[in-house]
């Protein structure tokens, strides 16, 4: 293997994955004096959910929940800085839109990524190892787009050799992957059958619009947006759409002001202190905080259905909650058969359709492939998941003196806010405080009116003083 050009001076932090979480961390780390960082991603460039950038769709968080503002409102990487650079501040101001368009957020993130020299796209991290002799992590990295190894590739070009990146600390921000339910995996794996995940919706949109009958599975925001987009672009009276959901209702997102306090650092700290069985039980009861639909989207669906019924008759659509897809198969005619079960009725039925869109959400990407070389040094909970401390660090054996931070892989320890864009900047600030031993950005002492438990909750000044007293970032793991 060749060695990274920076082999003479190890990185302070090596990042794996460049999604919004690590992009936020890279942006906030950029101005910190003396901090050497590099972030790696196998993709050629940044893109945020390109398959769901449906025209007119917006974020479910305000524009202040950008990559940096809630940690550093003066950052040159803020959304407002992006608008100023594009000379769009006045149009955005007069639009009076709190929630930016998704396409706008994607363009903003790509703008930030183009201004950070620490980002290394086209680099895939294969594994993370601990070198006890040097007291450093070693990342095995290959360039994507060409097979590693000696000799030229098929085009006669030299193949890039793998390299090793050395770092004192690592942050894993590999994000989530589209989830396909077991009952539908066989159909989704068949390229001749139009069963696609909503994350890939726009690429297949023309094919779906041309299909005779389309079924959307999933009651969250993505399912509602896909259903609405299909509804708006199919002929009145011949929509031929089904929308199925496992949840008991097409329910609105909990968006009350006090309800939103579940997405504050205060609630994250509270959740982390709870016993493991309590933490595991809570997200299922909180589904309307993160699995439901924005009320404006639900209203838009209803308005479109009403518009299509104004001359009499009903649109050719069926919306049924409380339904589970138990099995799927291909019919002799090349269509897709779905075996459905209704939870409340206790009944079964079949549905034959020409295409299926799976708006069935995402799951955290397993860290096991990357962490396999660390073996038993990674401490795990009773369910075999990595234990993660309050500073977003894996709990490791004391012989490993560096830290492995995680981003958006800690829902089981930090609660429903783990993937929320509104907590991205704060989490990055906490990581940097633990990494440097002092807070480069002020961490608020209180963020919610709600006291989620009895007694004093930990405050940010306690976190920073703990970080200050650490000889290394894992001293309090």
- pLDDT value for 459: 56
Mean pLDDT, residues 132-140: 96
The tens digit of pLDDT for each residue in 322-343 reads 999 999 999 998 899 999 999 9
Is 407 within 8 Å of 21 (Cβ atoms)?
Answer: yes
Write the DSSP symbol of residue 451. -
| Domains defined along the chain, listed by start | 2-176+363-468 (3.50.50.60), 179-253+292-362 (3.50.50.60)
Query: pTM, whole model, 2 decimals?
Result: 0.90
SS3 call for 464 = helix
Between 215-219, 371-375, 458-462, the lowest mean confidence (pLDDT) is in 458-462
Give the span between the Cα atoms of 77 and 82, in whole angstroms.
7
Mean pLDDT, residues 186-199: 88
Give the pairing type, strands 241-244 and 317-320: parallel
Chain centroid offset of residue 294 CA: 18
Mean pLDDT, residues 255-259: 94
- pLDDT value for 456: 58
Strand extents, DSSP E, 168-320: 170-172, 176-178, 195-197, 214-217, 241-244, 317-320
Between 162-176, 184-198, 231-245, 374-388, the lowest mean confidence (pLDDT) is in 184-198
Above 90 in pLDDT, residue 462? no
State the pLDDT confidence band at 190, using cuts at 50, 70 and 90.
confident
Mean pLDDT, residues 31-35: 96
Is 335 within 8 Å of 352 (Cβ atoms)?
Answer: yes
């Amino acid at each position: 293997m060749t060695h990274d050009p920076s082999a003479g001076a190890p990185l302070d932090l090596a990042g794996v994955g460049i999604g919004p979480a690590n992009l936020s961390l890279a942006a906030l780390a950029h101005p910190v004096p003396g901090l050497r960082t590099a972030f790696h991603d196998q993709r050629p460039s940044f893109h945020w959910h390109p398959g769901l950038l449906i025209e007119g769709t917006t974020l479910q968080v305000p524009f202040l929940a950008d990559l940096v503002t809630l940690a550093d409102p003066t950052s040159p990487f803020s959304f407002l800085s992006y608008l100023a650079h594009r000379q769009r501040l006045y149009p955005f101001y007069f639009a009076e839109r709190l929630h930016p368009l998704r396409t706008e957020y994607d363009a903003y993130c790509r703008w930030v990524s183009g201004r950070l020299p620490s980002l290394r796209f086209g680099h895939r991290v294969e594994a993370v190892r601990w070198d006890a002799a040097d007291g450093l992590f070693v990342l095995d990295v290959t360039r994507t787009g060409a097979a590693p190894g000696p000799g030229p590739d098929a085009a006669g070009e030299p193949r890039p050799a793998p390299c090793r990146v050395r770092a004192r600390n690592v942050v894993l921000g590999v994000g989530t992957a589209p989830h396909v339910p077991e009952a539908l995996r066989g159909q989704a794996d068949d390229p001749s059958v139009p069963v696609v995940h909503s994350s890939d919706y726009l690429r297949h949109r023309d094919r779906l619009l041309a299909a005779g009958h389309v079924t959307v599975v999933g009651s969250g925001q993505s399912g509602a947006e896909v259903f609405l987009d299909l509804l708006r672009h199919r002929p009145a009276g011949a929509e031929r759409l089904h929308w199925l959901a496992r949840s008991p209702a097409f329910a609105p997102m909990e968006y009350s002001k006090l309800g939103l306090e579940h997405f504050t650092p205060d609630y994250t700290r509270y959740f982390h202190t709870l016993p493991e069985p309590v933490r595991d039980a809570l997200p299922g009861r909180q589904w309307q905080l993160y699995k439901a639909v924005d009320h404006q989207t639900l209203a838009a669906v209803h308005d479109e259905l009403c518009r299509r019924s104004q001359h009499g008759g009903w649109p050719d659509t069926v919306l049924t909650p409380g339904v589970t897809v138990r099995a799927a198969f291909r019919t002799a005619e090349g269509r897709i058969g779905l075996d459905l079960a209704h939870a409340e009725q206790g009944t079964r039925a079949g549905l034959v359709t020409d295409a299926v869109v799976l708006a069935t959400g995402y799951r955290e990407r397993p860290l096991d492939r990357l962490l396999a070389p660390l073996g038993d040094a990674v401490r795990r909970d009773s369910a075999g998941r990595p234990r993660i401390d309050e500073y977003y660090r894996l709990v490791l054996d004391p012989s490993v003196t560096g830290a492995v931070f995680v981003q958006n892989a800690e829902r089981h320890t930090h609660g429903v806010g783990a993937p929320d864009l509104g907590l991205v900047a704060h989490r990055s600030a906490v990581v940097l405080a633990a990494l440097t031993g002092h807070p480069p950005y002020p961490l608020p002492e209180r963020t919610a009116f709600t006291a989620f438990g009895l007694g004093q909750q930990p405050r940010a000044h306690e976190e920073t003083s703990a970080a200050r007293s650490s000889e290394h970032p894992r001293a309090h793991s």
